[in-house]
């Protein structure tokens, strides 16, 4: 749970509940690279991912229609999903997830092995809260897992779903793999407006002051 974080409650407009927010998004944005962090926002390990391209896109899944039509509000879905089922699954599978992070992902990060990092993330995608998040997009997660598995089959070292989704990403250091994924999305009729082509930012957030660019990490507001 993030510190001092809250969101609207399905009980009513006069109520708030603790936000299901780890803060990892902000941590990655500020520091750049690939990060493993704890629930209390302690950075466990960080590595840069040099020369790594990223493809990010929004698939057409059933949950999008519900969001647009107001059939189900974000407060109702997140309270149900994240504060109930996701936490329940995490409590049942915490040991397996911890083993994957400690014995597979972090050693792969130390070695700079992008493929093994992706292997660990792939396994985590089928466990605990991430499984619950994928499943909310219909057919027990089939639409999401189909893309993730396809990207891995094409050759992407890392593929997964961002946060509660449905945005999906693929990371690769191989240009041929990158081109094949883009061709696949084109063949599937995914609109260009739903695809972002970018690369991993290993510097993190920067600001420009008096013509000089510097990292957020050097700014006083982050030092408390």
pLDDT, tens digit, 9 for 90 and up, residues 109-121: 999 999 999 999 9
- Pick the closest to residue 152 from 180, 190, 126 (CA basis): 180
* Per-residue confidence band for 157, with pLDDT thresholds at 50, 70 and 90: very high
Per the model's pLDDT, the better-predicted residue between 84 and 76 turns out to be: 84
Q: What are phi and psi of 196, to 5 degrees?
A: -115, 125
Tokens at 129, concatenated: 């809260």
For the entire predicted model, the pTM comes to 0.80
The answer to whether 125 and 149 are in contact (CB under 8 A) is no
What percentage of residues in the chain have a pLDDT greater than 70? Answer: 78
User: CA–CA separation, 159 vs 39, rounded Å?
Assistant: 22
Beta strand 206-209 pairing with 195-199: unpaired
Q: Check residue 2 and give its pLDDT.
A: 42
Task: For residue 42, give the 3-state DSSP assignment.
Answer: coil
Position 42 pLDDT exceeds 60: yes
Q: Check residue 26 and give its pLDDT.
A: 76
């Amino acid at each position: 749970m993030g510190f001092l974080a809250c969101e609207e409650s399905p009980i009513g407009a006069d109520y708030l509940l603790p936000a299901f927010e780890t803060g990892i998004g902000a941590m990655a944005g500020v520091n750049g690279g690939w990060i493993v962090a704890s629930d209390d926002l302690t950075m466990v390990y960080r590595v840069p991912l040099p020369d790594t391209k990223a493809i990010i896109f929004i698939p057409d899944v059933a949950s999008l229609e519900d969001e647009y039509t107001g059939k189900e509000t974000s407060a109702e879905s997140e309270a149900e999903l994240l504060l109930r089922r996701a936490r329940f699954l995490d409590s049942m599978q915490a040991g397996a997830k911890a083993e994957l992070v400690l014995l597979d992902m972090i050693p792969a990060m130390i070695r700079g092995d992008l493929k093994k990092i992706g292997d660990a993330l792939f396994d985590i995608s089928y466990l605990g809260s991430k499984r619950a998040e994928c499943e909310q997009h219909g057919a027990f997660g089939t639409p999401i897992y189909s893309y993730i598995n396809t990207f891995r089959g094409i050759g992407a070292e890392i593929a997964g779903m961002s946060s509660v989704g449905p945005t999906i990403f693929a990371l690769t250091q191989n240009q041929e793999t990158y081109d094949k994924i883009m061709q696949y999305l084109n063949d599937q009729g995914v609109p260009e407006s739903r695809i972002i082509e970018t690369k991993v930012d290993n510097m993190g957030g920067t600001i420009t002051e008096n013509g000089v660019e510097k990292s957020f990490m050097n700014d006083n507001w982050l030092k408390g």
